[in-house]
Amino acid sequence: MKTSISLITVTLMLASCASDDDQQPSQDHNLKNELRWNDLRVGQSNRFIAFRTSCPTSGNIEYTGDTLLLEVVSQGEGLGLRESYTAGSPILLLIDIIPAIYPVIPENDYLLLPERNSSQLFFFFGNDTLPMQKPSNINLQQGSCFIEYSNGDPFIGEEIGRISPYSIGDKQYFDKRVVSCVPPFLNLDAYLVFDSKQLHISMTISADPGAIFNVSGFGLIAND
């Protein structure tokens, strides 16, 4: 969609932010065993909080109470990602959700996610390849519902962008990658905001009658 709307501030309970880098696997020993894209190991995990809001009429975030756990597991002779809602998530009282498990294949400059249709985080991404290398020429800016090109148009298509800074409430992200490769039949806009180590935000934006946009997604929260 090509609609550009006014700036609102969205507040999420997210993990603290840091600059992106393309270093080799971390040497900090990953004491919290967080999921690291650049050094995937069985047993690593991240948690994501579910949120929703609307714009341009509302800048208030509603937290659904649902927490999605993303874990690295062994799958066949390789690695897989397992998504499951944690105990106490309200959605489990409404429907029976079977954990989703799908393969992940790490390469030097990218991750392959060939079977992500059942994923809550990656289902909309219309490319098997999640690029981990730094893009060189697409600079983006923060809009309201949308991440935008410098001319104010929403960022869409198969390009790889970079945004810095990106503010969410009192948090600021620097040098984050953004992809928005959404098949047309889904009829929505969507973004993955990530760096070489972690996914930070997965969000979708769909239009409602009356020029209202529904925003929903998941934001990374810090491991205990």
For residue 200, the tally of other CB atoms under 10 A from its CB is 25
More confident residue, 54 or 106: 106
What residue type is 24 in one-letter code?
A: Q
Q: How far apart are CA 199 and CA 99, in angstroms?
A: 19
pLDDT at 13 over 90: no
pLDDT digits (tens, 9 = 90+) for 181-220: 888 778 889 999 999 899 999 999 988 777 688 889 999 9
Domain boundaries, the chain: 37-221
Q: Share the mean pLDDT of the chain.
A: 82
Cβ atoms of 21 and 11 within 8 Å: the answer is no
The whole-model pTM stands at 0.83
Mind listing the pLDDT tens digit for each residue in 116-153?
Answer: 999 999 999 998 999 887 666 689 998 877 899 999 99
Among 88, 1, 98, residue whose Cα is nearest residue 49? 88
Predicted pLDDT of residue 199: 94
Q: pLDDT tier at 43 (50, 70, 90 boundaries)?
A: very high
Tell whether the model's pLDDT for residue 1 goes beyond 90: no
Q: What is the mean pLDDT of residues 87-110?
A: 93
pLDDT value, residue 53: 84
- Residue 168 is predicted with a pLDDT of 67
Tokens standing for 93? 């009282």
* Closest C-alpha among 147, 135, 142 to residue 195: 135
